[in-house]
Amino acid sequence: MRPCLLNRHIATWLTAATLCLITPSLFAQPSDASLRNALEAARAQQWDRVDMAAIEGHPLIGYIDYHRLRERLPEIGPERILAFIERYADSPLGEWLRGQAIARYGAAGRFRFLRQVADGEPQGTHRRCYYYTALLDVDPETAAEGGRALWHTGSSQPEACDTLFDTLRTRGEIGNQEIWERQALAWQQGESGLVRYLGRLLGSRWQEANDALSRLQQDFAAVTQVPRCIGPECRGSDALFAAAMHGFTRADTEAALESWRQIAPHLPLSDSVHDAIEHDLAFYLMVRDIDAHAGWRDAIIARQAEPDLLELRVRTALAERDWQGVIDWVHRMPDEPRQEARWQYWLGRALERLSDPATARQAYAAAADQRSFFGFAAADRLGQPYALNLERNAVSAAARERVAALPIVERTEALLRIDEPGLAASEWYAAVARAEPQEARALADYAAQRGWHAKLVQTTIAGRLWDALEWRFPEAYRDDFLHWGDATGVDPYLLMGIARRESAYNPEALSPAGARGLMQLMPGTARQVGQQLGIGDPGLHGVLDPALNIRLGSTYLRDMLERYRGNRLAAAAAYNAGPGRVDRWLRDGPQDFDLFVESIPFRETRDYVQAVLAYRVIFESLANGGDSEGVSLLSAAEKRVRYDASLLARN
């Protein structure tokens, strides 16, 4: 990084360290353009276009070296690879090249080289297969253990695994037992082609087992008619009945339970498989509201005491307004989940309904110490301010100078200058992942000073800076939120909460479903709202513009608020799950606001609503200087209204 030259006529009140930190782009390396051209050429393997003299000493020269070495694999030896890895140990470049070397040495059969560059089991299935293939002759026990783990899946594996699997089968490390277990997994995952292939590999002693599997493929109910003992010495029973009951439970839970209760006492199953089947049955009995076997279900839940079953059982009790049941099942939870604000809140609600206000207040107080939706709701019950647990961080000028001079920061800045935001993010997050808490704070401060909102949020997550609220909830795009909130009549802090939850302030965020931008708008929604506003379809790229994305998201949220008579809780649920689903949930009312939230059937939406409303409390409190006085989780009307069909503006 070039030395920072201060102009005292610009801002005499800024320290040199601060100005250097805030404006590094003013002092961009003179060879940035050359580096950009060199990187483009290196990616295309056009080395005659790379002017090494023009990029000598540039902080990103390692990226050129990476592509040069990558192209020469697998011919070059491991010494060059290891030297590069050591040189760039503070960058993702080193591990990227290690992964490339493992893959290319493996594909070329250069297993001695592979062993030299490997540093334990690599990531990625095909690299893991090459790695354990390389160990077949030098560490056969480890190779067999790793190979069996790769084999034990219901899906097809890449060709890179063929030599490993074939060798282990020849050596007897993968035998009929392992083939059968994988065949059952493949059936469970619907991989019919793999089922047939594996079936042909089995010996004649497994023919009866194969016949039983074929019969169950046609009719799950035949589980009561197939032999109880599957395979030699019954060693195939676990895999077959686990797969059969997995499918049967999902297809017809009540019939599956009836069949299970008939055959379970007679099956030679391991305890783990037996418990897994009963766990599955109890779970689906609750999910599908099948009450005919409540006694059996509750006995299983009580015996297994698994957190997911207990949490679902509490929700079942809440749906039934069984307040004593709520208390009993919360008390059965392990300590860690039981102490969460959600369950302490519901314990307080149940105790309150059963006329034990003193104990209820104790539970509410335990919940109110926590910064969450139910922690804030508990504080409302007690009439006390919200516990934000805000941690303020101060980073010295000297620390800022040290951070600005770090090679990782120089590379990040340089990558941003040459328009490589993806690589810049990789460099930054690699640094945060390795950082100690104080280092993570210094990096977070740097990201905050630079206005890197998305990197800042991710830095606080990776660095576990949970109470650094000013960094976790920065004033990103604040003017746009305030402007469009005012223009549409939508609570701007609710907009901030939605954007923070949806994209963590990444303006180019793209979800697997296709939602885009800060407020994660689906293309169809963006087109519809754009036409509604008279600005037309913004297109897949236009919707990524932060200001336009916020305008469209604000308008869509306004429409949801109008649909639900201004109710922010219902509108937030509709923003995530769609208004059609929320309409149905409301028609299943009536219920109080907290019961409505807890009854949302989709975990994603249930968590989303709680997060968004808690986030808006935090944003408003931070706008008040970190004081939650006068800030409310919900309005009086939102707390008082019945969450039923009457909430619909059109009913």
DSSP structural state of residue 293: T
| HEC assignment per residue over 145-162 | HHHHHHHCCCCCCCHHHH
At 507, list the tokens: 């303006």
C-alpha torsion sign, points 69, 75, 80, 84: positive
d(CA 284, CA 280): 6
Q: Which of 493, 460, 458 is nearest to 478 (CA)?
A: 493
Beta bridge partners of 510: 516
d(CA 15, CA 401): 11
For 324-344, b where at least 16 C-beta lie within 10 A, e where not — what string?
ebbbbbbeebeeeebebbbbb
CA dihedral defined by 74, 76, 82, 84, rounded to 10 degrees?
-100
d(CA 218, CA 197): 18
At 302, list the tokens: 């009580």
Instruction: Kindly give, in sequence order, each residue whose CB lies less than 8 Å from that of residue 416, ignoring residues fewer than 6 positions away.
Output: 25, 424
Q: Which of 173, 181, 278, 502 is catalytic?
A: 502
SS3 625: coil
For 580-615, b where at least 16 C-beta lie within 10 A, e where not — what string?
ebbbebbeebebebbbbbbbbeeeebbebbbbbbbb
DSSP structural state of residue 456: H
Q: Which of 472, 562, 481 is nearest to 518 (CA)?
A: 481
**Is 502 annotated as catalytic?**
yes
d(CA 278, CA 245): 9
SS3 510: strand
d(CA 605, CA 318): 18
Residue showing tokens 């929320």: 582
Q: Which own/partner contact pairs does 521-524 have at CB distance under 8 Å and 24+ positions apart? A: 521/549, 521/552, 521/553, 521/556
Q: Are 541 and 467 in contact (CB under 8 A)?
A: no
d(CA 161, CA 294): 47
Helix (H), strand (E) at residue 519:
none
Amino acid at 188: Q
d(CA 51, CA 29): 16
Q: Which residues are catalytic?
A: 502
